[in-house]
Structure 1
Amino acid sequence: MPITTTKLTRWAGLSAVAAGLLFIGVQINHPHLDAGFATTTEYTVRQTLKVLMSGLSLAGITGMYLRQVKQAGVLGLVGYLVFAAGYLIMTSVEVIGAVVLPTLARTDPGYVNDVFAMVLGEQVNGDIGLFPVLNIASALTFLGGGLLFGIALFRAKVLARWAAALLAIGSVATLAIPLLPQVNERLFALPTGVALVGLGYSLWSGLRTRAALPLSGTVGPAAAPEAVK
């Protein structure tokens, strides 16, 4: 089976859809993060899915950007680079959470509880090294990149504009988490997840429809050589 740009882009669309569904799915009935939970099988499964989600998201937004390089302009490039950096940092954090924290939870549960407290915006009592810096970098690039990339996609008018707007709005909405302590913060992940599904489907279906259409400007049978004067 030949590998073409169209096929790769359509696979990127499916990757975005899968990433959005995973992003929503891992939030459902998520237990409280602590050292005890980090030693369970459920934690390992959820972290593995988060790593997969991050990788699929990166593939998805790459396909979105390449589909509309010209239309997205400089804002699209900046938004993509910042958003991609956010997903790369997120991937590294989730990998650490999947392969390092479960072991530390058994030998140094206080450290793990402090790491989770940082993630949840709670008080950190011990020294967790440069984790706070990594957490801030992840938040800034993910939220800032989502906002810029969403605006660029909306202006490009290539993919579903409602999904692009939802991506931008969802990124900004997460800033309200500290102001709404009574609201489950995991609900703020839903707009981004839905936006990824919408944009991914738009990317996939748009190319699918385009491939099914007949070529424009099709002409009839070529004239015989002798008929040409």
Structure 2
Amino acid sequence: MDITATGLTKAAGAAAAVAGAIFIAVQIGHPSSDSFTTETTQWMARSGAKSAMAALALAGITGMYLRQYRKAGVLGLVGYLVFAVGYLALLCVEVIAAAVLPNLVDSEPGFVDDVVTAANGGTPNGDIGGVQTLLNVAGAGYIVGGLLFGLALFRTGVLTRWAAALLAISTAATAALAVLPESFNRPLAVPAGLALIALGVSLWRNPRDGRQTSPATFPATAMAVSPAEQPAVR
């Protein structure tokens, strides 16, 4: 099977759309933070799904950036890098949540409770070490990176502009969760998921610059003209 730039770009578009769909799906019926514990199968399933979402979103935004990096400029580069770091940190957090925390419930219950508290925006009672740094990087990267990257996509106009605007607005609005009730957590995630789906579909349908022309077009035309028909050089 031949691997082409167009094929990779389409794959990135599909990854972004699937990531957006997963992001919306995990919000449906999500338990409240005070009843959602690492001892449940649902915890591991949702954390595993969020891990896949973060990995797919990282691949998706990489394809989006590479599709238009010449037009995106410094804003696009900075936005992409910050957004990518945010998703990478989120991926690490969710892998820890799915694979590590359930195994520490019996031996380190206080640490597990503190990590869950910090992940939900609360203040842990003890020191959770590097996990707190990962949470801070994931939150800041998602909010700031999403805003800058969405603005860059909107400015270039290569992909669906309303989806780019929605991405910028929805990720920036996440900062308001610090003062809003927990009931807003799930609904505010849906617009970002929709933005990823729409941008992914747009990238799938528009994987390359439509203004490109075949390099054989000019030589073939020139060869079809006899020397007598060519205009004299003056």
Retained in 2: the 8 A contact 1:35–1:112?
A: no
Secondary structure at 1:110 match in 2: helix
Partner SS state of residue 181, structure 2: coil
Query: If the length of structure 1 is used for normalisation, what is the TM-score?
Result: 0.89
Shift of 1:22: 0.5
Q: Deviations 1:120-160 (Å, cap 9, x if unpaired)?
A: 12232222223222211211111110000000000011000
1:180 to partner: Cα distance: 1.9
Deviations 1:51-95 (A, max 9, x none): 111110010000000000111111101111111111111111111
Correspondence 1:120-199 to 2 at 5 A? 120-181=120-181, 183-199=183-199
**1:55 matched to which residue of 2?**
55
Deviates more, 1:29-38 or 1:78-87: 29-38
Q: Is the 8 A contact 2:90 2:134 kept in 1?
A: no
Matched, 1:46 2:40: no
Shift of 1:182: 5.9
Q: Is the 8 A contact 1:159 1:199 kept in 2?
A: yes
* 2:130 counterpart letter in structure 1: L
Structure 1 position 35, deviation (Å): 8.8
Q: Return 144-153 or 42-51, whichever deviates more.
A: 42-51
Asked if the contact 1:76/1:148 (under 8 Å) is kept, the reply is yes
TM-score (normalizing by structure 2): 0.87
Question: What is the root-mean-square deviation in Å for CA atoms of aligned residues?
Answer: 2.8
**Farther-moved stretch of structure 1 (117-126 vs 99-108):** 117-126
Q: 1:182 to 1:135 in 2, by over 3 A?
A: closer
Task: Say if 1:160 and 1:198, in contact at 8 Å, map to a contact too.
Answer: yes
Q: Paired residues, what number?
A: 227
What are structure 2's unaligned runs of at least 5 residues? Answer: 229-234
Q: Unaligned 5+ residue runs, structure 1?
A: none
| Contact 2:48 2:98 survives alignment (8 Å) | yes
SS of 1:38's partner is coil
Q: Which has the larger radius of gyration?
A: 2
Q: What's the counterpart of residue 76 of structure 1?
A: 76
Q: Is this contact kept in 1: 2:92–2:134, CA < 8 A? A: no
